[in-house]
Chains A and B, each alone.
Chain A
Amino acid sequence: MFVYEKRLEFPIKIKNTNPKLASLIISQYGGPDGEINASLRYLSQRYSMPLPQVQGLLTDIGVEELSHLEMVGTIVYQLTRDLSEAEIRQAGFDAYFIDHGTGVYPQAAGGAPQTAMALAVKGDMLTDLTEDMGAEQKARTTYDNILRFCDDPDVIEPIRFLRAREIVHYQRFGEALRIATDKLDERNFYAFNPSFDRRGRTNTRL
Chain B
Amino acid sequence: MNDKNRLLTELSAASFAVIEAGLYLDTHPNDRTALEYKKQYSEATDRLRAQYEQSFGPLFMETSGSGDCWEWTQTPWPWVV
Contact = CB atoms under 8 A, between A and B. Distances in A.
Contact of A9 (B5, B16, B28, B62): B16
A176 B78 CA distance: 33
B58 A6 contact: yes
Given A60-B26, A70-B79, A78-B79, A3 B60 contact: yes
Contact of A6 (B15, B19, B78): B78
A86 B70 CA distance: 40
B23 A57 contact: yes
Contacts of B20: 168
B60 A5 contact: yes
Interface residues of A, number: 31
Q: Is the interface on chain B under 10, 10 to 19, 20 to 34, or 35 or more residues?
A: 20 to 34
B60 A57 contact: no
Contact of A3 (B8, B12, B62): B62
B24 A172 contact: yes
A10 B8 contact: no
Contact of B19 (A7, A15, A64, A175): A64
A73 to B, nearest CB: 7
Contacts of B27: 53, 57, 172, 175-176, 179
Interface in B13-60: 15-16, 19-20, 22-24, 26-29, 58-60
Given A12-B79, A61-B23, 4 more contacts: A6-B77, A10-B16, A13-B81, A77-B79
